Structure 1
């Protein structure tokens, strides 16, 4: 059984605050040219995508420096239960180590996929730095149905906006995972009723020195 867990790439789709807008426009057309091509303008972290360590660590690997096999994951679905806006996901909400045999990616179902395309999508739950460090200690990366494992700014990132209340600022969860060489997959969808264990394929474009890349994320499991 296969399921597409990726967002369609389309003009005007939601993007992280401060990231480039996405546009797809005709280049050549059948009427004028006898064939069709399109111009795609997109940021490296648009839609469903994987982050490279270079995204937050100046000395981190680029996306093209990772072996392609590193983007085929033995995944474990994690359902922390009903979460509220900007609720921290603590280490105790993650699985015990003895249940993670042959797992290299935890896919955390926050429920925030339901808010895609709304302002509330920015208010997703997030991993505490301690939770990210626990993932690092366990040797497992993280996938989420949200903008990312850290809180999303309340305003435009380019204007220096910060988190709300006592939330962390910056990228402590990203950094903790990247320092362990672990993957991060963001803006997943279609996580409802997935089995607890499955394979996840999230192959990036081969961008030279890339800090991340959109992916076609696909889950596979036995019926």
Structure 2
């Protein structure tokens, strides 16, 4: 079974605060031009996407430094749905598994395109460090593995994108804004091939292939 784990790219969709707005507009129409073309304007971290090290690491690798097979992941799903708004995911949740990627299932995709989506659970610095030690790439069904700025931010939250630096600084990849993780099993293959951009990140069409069916 293959499951689409991607949010649709569309005008006005949610982005990280301050990122470029997304617009999908008609550029040519059948009636006027005899064919249809859309003009798409968006940032490199639009929707369901992958972060390259250069996103936060000066001189870090862009996406085109990684071979295409690097974007097919042996994934383990980690159930974190019991955590609430702006709760840290503790180190104890990082699995001791023979896998290449840890997909943290918070259920926060249910709040996509709402203000509440900004207040997702996040990886504690200790959890991010454990993922780095175990060589895990990381995926989240939320806006960010770090806390996202919002009016509800707490004074004791980590600052400085610590999870991003821990992972991307070791050439591990981060995938953000997944959805539908409840439709795959605990072990699955995640295929998330980015657009062919020499960039710090790019949208992906993320697909989960369940290994339990």
Match of 2:140 in 1: 144
Task: Quote how far apart the aligned CAs of 1:192 are.
Answer: 1.1
Over residues 130-184 of structure 1, what are the superposed CA-to-partner deviations in whole Å (9 max), with x where a residue is unaligned? 11110010011110000111000116xxxxxx94321011210000011221110
The one of 182, 188, 191 aligned to 1:198: 188
Task: Quote how far apart the aligned CAs of 1:81 are.
Answer: 4.0
Over residues 175-219 of structure 1, what are the superposed CA-to-partner deviations in whole Å (9 max), with x where a residue is unaligned? 0011221110000000114211010000011112x0100000000
Answer yes or no: is the 8 Å Cα contact 1:154–1:164 preserved in 2: no
Structure 1 residue 112 corresponds to structure 2 residue 101: no
Distance change in 2, residues 1:33/1:81 (3 Å): closer
Q: TM-score, normalised by structure 1?
A: 0.92
- Residues of 2 paired with 1:214 and 1:167: CA distance? 28
Structure 1 residue 179 corresponds to structure 2 residue 169: yes
- Residues of 2 paired with 1:80 and 1:201: CA distance? 22
Q: TM-score, normalised by structure 2?
A: 0.96
Aligned residues: 212
User: Over aligned residue pairs, what C-alpha RMSD do you find?
Assistant: 1.3
Q: Secondary structure at the match of 1:174?
A: helix
The one of 112, 120, 124 aligned to 2:120: 124
